[in-house]
Amino acid sequence: MKAFLQHKALVSLLVTVTLALGLSGCKFNGAYDLPLPGGVVSKGDSVPLTAQFTDALNVVPRTAVMLDDVPVGQVTQIDRKGWNAQVQMRVRKDLDLPENITLDVRQTSLLGEKYIAIVRPTEPTGKLQANAFIPISDTGRNPEVEEVLGALSMVLGSGGVGQLRTISVELNKAFDGRTENVRSAFTELNRTVATLNDQRDDIVSALEAVDSLSSQLVRERDTIGNAFNAMAPAVRTLNQQHDAMVRMLKALDRLGVVGTRVINATKEDLLATLNHLGPALAALADAKGDMAKGIAMMVSYPFPKEAANIAQGDFANAEFFIDANLEEWIKDPDHAPNIIGMLCSLFQTPPDQCPGGYASNASPRLKSLPPVSAALNNPVLGANGSRTDPAHPQEQGLTSLLGGAK
């Protein structure tokens, strides 16, 4: 009996020590630490992820993580970070997810359990790595059932639902018999909106230009203010001259009436004069090159303007080329031209120094241009007293012309 009691005491001591050691080396977190059959992932074939949510209501450890409504992981831990919830989870490492995924807290049904849904982006970039962090900007949640019911209750109870019927009735009355007009108005509105949409770049450019102009005006505010201040004396002067300006405007009005009457009375004559000027102006336009040369020659007649460069003091050397028909002179010596007399007249040589004197039709000094018709009618022949005068037959002929006289 004594040995049995000793054995029983030893077993009790061993059980007590074993329980103490077990409780001191492990931590039990309740039902969340109990393994579940058919686990989605194991630690060996999964990667950890961390995400922040503004609201993770009813999300607990072992909450499912789904991709396309298929479980691919589970939540392992939830912590509070300030006013947000930081959720740690593990997902299968063979999913090949991009780095720009988003996470949503959703519900399997109206009263079902919560789960975290992985949403693939429309334009995936990169690859999601182990221990990746999904920021709060890429997470969200669906509205709760109580939130939907509360909003619906507010709309139905204290909202304007009762006024919808009044609005509908009034719209029916307004559109009754005006269907075509309303349809046309909506068509025009649609066309206007489409036109504005097509011109949105121009509208934006115009608004930017207005903004730039406004900025410029703000920068030049002092200058504009000074300009307006400087305008005050001018405005006062205009105000003082008000009566004179009114009289001037009335006089201009009378002038306009008289001018209109004169123009109407002389319109046909004026048009005829303008028509007659047309050919003359056309001829002047056609002769514009020759006219300029002729005017330049008239200024220095009878010599070209280049002759001033060859005169040295009171004398100048000259060389003349005379195209003479000797046959005609020999046949009729009386009508041979008085070349010497013409040259003396041209160079303004005094009569007592010119052999034979001037030609009768040559003026000692050329004060003005002779008329063209008079120049054409005067014969280029010597007059009485010239070397071709019949009274001096000894000085006629080729010898006198070529040999000159002393």
pLDDT tens per residue, range 170-209 = 888 888 888 888 889 999 999 999 999 999 999 999 999 9
Closest listed residue to residue 66, CA positions, set 11, 128, 115:
115
Q: Is the pLDDT of residue 125 over 60?
A: yes
CB-based contacts of 110: which residues, under 8 Å, 6+ apart?
145
> Which amino acid type is present at position 292?
A
Q: Is the pLDDT of residue 2 over 60?
A: no
Mean predicted confidence (pLDDT) in 250-254 = 93
**Which of 52-56, 277-281, 322-326, 363-367 shows the highest mean pLDDT?**
52-56
> How far is C-alpha 284 from the geometric centre of its chain's CA atoms?
45
State residue 355's pLDDT score: 59
> Measured in Å, how far apart are the chain's first and last C-alpha atoms?
196
The upper half-sphere exposure of residue 304, i.e. CA atoms within 13 Å in the direction of its Cβ, equals 5
What's the CA gap between 315 and 107, in Å, rounded? Answer: 125
Mean predicted confidence (pLDDT) in 110-131 = 90
State residue 78's pLDDT score: 93
Q: Could you state, in order of their start, the residue ranges of all structural domains in the chain? A: 40-147, 160-197, 320-403
Q: pLDDT of 54-86, one tens digit each? A: 988 889 999 999 999 899 999 999 999 989 999
- The torsion region of residue 238 among left (phi > 0), alpha (psi -120 to 50) and beta comes to alpha
What are the angstrom distances between the C-alpha of 276 and each of 159, 270, 273?
89, 10, 5
Encoding tokens for residue 92? 């299968």
Beta-bridge partner residues of 73:
65, 91
> Which amino acid type is present at position 154?
M
Pairing mode, if any, of strands 132-134 and 102-107? unpaired
The whole-model pTM stands at 0.37
Mean predicted confidence (pLDDT) in 284-299 = 77
What's the CA gap between 85 and 51, in Å, rounded? Answer: 8
What's the CA gap between 87 and 85, in Å, rounded? Answer: 6
**Which of 21-30, 325-334, 373-382 shows the highest mean pLDDT?**
325-334
Phi, psi of 67 (to 5 degrees): -125, 115
Asked whether 88 and 133 are in contact (CB, 8 A), the reply is: no
Torsion 22-24-26-28 (CA) sign: positive
CB-based contacts of 401: which residues, under 8 Å, 6+ apart?
324, 329, 336, 339, 340
What's the CA gap between 62 and 71, in Å, rounded? Answer: 11
What's the CA gap between 109 and 145, in Å, rounded? Answer: 10
What's the CA gap between 284 and 269, in Å, rounded? Answer: 23
Asked whether 395 and 402 are in contact (CB, 8 A), the reply is: no
**Which of 249-263, 284-298, 368-382 shows the highest mean pLDDT?**
249-263
Q: Is 100 exposed, middle or buried (0-12, 13-18, 19+ CB in 10 A)?
A: middle
- The torsion region of residue 62 among left (phi > 0), alpha (psi -120 to 50) and beta comes to left
Asked whether 384 and 360 are in contact (CB, 8 A), the reply is: yes
Q: pLDDT of 15-62, one tens digit each? A: 554 555 455 455 555 555 555 554 567 777 889 999 999 988 889 999
CB-based contacts of 92: which residues, under 8 Å, 6+ apart?
40, 41, 45, 46, 47, 72, 73
Q: How confident is the model at residue 398 (pLDDT cuts 50, 70, 90)?
A: very low
CB-based contacts of 2: which residues, under 8 Å, 6+ apart?
none
